[in-house]
Amino acid sequence: MSRKADHKKIVIIGGSFGGINAAYALRRRLGDRAEITVISKDPEFTFLPSLPWVLLGWRDPTQLQISLHQPLMRRGIHFIHGEVKELDPGKGEARTASARYPFDILLIASGADLDYAAVPGLGPAGGHTQSTFTIREAVCARDALARVLAGEHGRIVIGAAAGASCIGPAYEIAMMIDTVLRQAHKRHRFTIRFVTPEPFIGHWGVGGIGMSPRMIQDEFAERHIDPIVNAKLIEARADRLILADGTEHEFDFSLMIPSFLGAAFVRGVDGLANPKGFVSVTPQLTSVNFSNVYAVGVAIAIAPPGQTPVPVAVPKTGHMTELMAHAAAHNIAAELNGGAKMDGLSLPTTCIADAGDTAFYLSADPFLPPRNKVIHKKGKWARYLKLAFEKYYLARIRHDWPSLHFGW
């Protein structure tokens, strides 16, 4: 068989933590024995964990982005700026509006769609609440928040809709707003409420991490952040949120995390995803029905460890996504070269939640209970660690530096 015939076409959909780390790892593992193509609807990599800092005006959003074309092309990885519209796993083809991309192996790292339509009035585009999952959203929220904080009093409501995942940024933003107001000596003239579908503060969709829920609950009590748990948001109006129990929560500024849906091109393939559009995978991160399809990160389906009165989805952190990307790359290489595959789901995770004047360092191994190890600590040092990690990670994406798996 010729060298050209030996080449496998690997297509990766997504240009964030999962897609880029998988592309780099596959190039290192496979050398020139594979043709690797990354298709991303965004031309830049964005360090999403720092978007809450954009909202507070603490970071220029341009400092958090790196153009993907040159870093990938330098490593012989094809980069396509485009959005996948259709997927045919049987034929081995991904399609954008203008081209078709054949593949022998596909890796889906496309993240998720934000389901603002699930709640009338939710979201910054045509709705009444803010969010912070894109640069545009963070800038819009920054400007809206600045107008409220410039006043002498205000009502602030932060939280999440039913079924939301990745609620962590909402916790950060609530505490950071409290910090800003205390530093301005006008915290006593503002109310901050935290409206969440979680059954208790610090649940995070995984039943909490060790004793950290008590730590976060005590922090909220000291900061006079009023929690509303088991909250099911049914409507957002111009000045208030309406919950299923009939209560209303008035606001001058509100940021609410929406629930997620799998990407539209995933939802369009029978047998690929669950009803919400997230790819059903084996422990080796292959689709349960399509052996030539892998998936990582937010794109995959992970069942909650337990039922809650109001649905709360399991978060997939950036750290988890990166570890999955490396596991998927290992397994793809093992598939092509021979060798044992690894479990890509029983993974640890580490995250740092900033509070403006301090931060919380949380680590769980594995992420879902029962766990072998849990770490939860609080201190300004954790905030400095998160600041340093942002700089390191952006440089790493630009230059493909070795990984430091302490998370963010």
- Active site residue ranges: 166, 351
Q: What is the rounded (10 degree) CA torsion for 336, 338, 343, 349?
A: -70
What span, in angstroms and rounded, lies between the C-alpha atoms of 87 and 94?
Answer: 5
Query: How far is Cα 111 from Cα 295, in angstroms, rounded to an integer?
Result: 10
Alpha-carbon distance of 95 to 263, in angstroms, equals: 14
Whether residue 161 contacts residue 233, with contact meaning beta carbons closer than 8 Å, is answered with: yes
C-alpha closest to that of 319 among 345, 300, 297: 297
- Which residue carries 């999962």 as its tokens? 18
Cα dihedral across residues 13, 17, 20, 21: positive or negative: negative
CA 255 to CA 174: how far, in whole Å?
9
> What 8-state DSSP symbol labels residue 130?
B
R_g (Cα) of the chain, nearest Å: 21
